[in-house]
Amino acid sequence: MEMDKMKAVIEGLLFASGDEGITLRQLSSILEVTAATVSHLIDELKYDYEHEGRGIMIIKSHEVFHLTTKPEHSDYYKKLLETPQATRMSQAALETLAIIAYRQPITRTEIEEIRGVKSDRPVKTLIARSLVEEVGRRDSIGRPALFATNKDFLTYFGLTSLEELPPLPEDLADRDTAEQDADLFFEQFNQEFGDE
């Protein structure tokens, strides 16, 4: 693989690794090149970010590399965080939120069994929006994380307790559980999300 392509792959891996970051050893293993080569390519990326007027940079903390924003732009990032988000939640996030609200505490695997698809991203979205949180670990193999709604969820929807959630009708036995949960949730709260 040519050097420019490897540099692009490293950049993508740094981005994809998110907050966890990635080590020199991991990069070397993934690219199947020496650590020295990876180190040289990271130095080139750092130089590019510093000299091309870019908004990102690479930092190294405890032997882990991270792609991050430049501190001199922090005022703009603060403004972004202060700006109310006008984006609506995805169908997947709404379904996942409905399932968690009605079945909590629940593991990601249990959510995926109900939805029939992977649910990593919707759960992360809900955590990022502070509607869901990890509340413990299931006492089973692997001790999977348990997720539940939180105080912000109640506040967001104007509820004082989970007992105020509309009950699931018993006459919908022929419909899929996830569909029941999501439909009822949408009926009650879709207007709230539409106003975000």
Are 98 and 186 within one domain?
yes
Is 80 within the bounds of a domain?
A: no
Range of the domain at 145: 91-194
Mean predicted confidence (pLDDT) in 148-161: 82
Task: For residue 10, give both structure tokens.
Answer: 């490293």
pLDDT band at 196 (very low <50, low <70, confident <90, very high): very low
HSE on the CB side for 136, CA within 13 Å? 6
Mean predicted confidence (pLDDT) in 4-10: 93
pLDDT of residue 189: 52
Q: pTM higher than 0.85 for the full model?
A: no
**CA–CA separation, 161 vs 188, rounded Å?**
15
**CA–CA separation, 111 vs 98, rounded Å?**
10
Is 101 within the bounds of a domain?
A: yes
Q: What is the CATH number of the domain that holds 14?
A: 1.10.10.10
pLDDT of residue 115: 87
Is 138 within the bounds of a domain?
A: yes
Q: What are the pLDDT digits (tens) for 24-71?
A: 999 999 999 999 999 999 999 999 998 888 888 898 888 899 888 888
Number of domains in the chain: 2
Q: Which of 18, 38, 70 is the last residue of a domain?
A: 70
pLDDT of residue 94: 87
**CA–CA separation, 169 vs 166, rounded Å?**
9
pLDDT of residue 68: 87
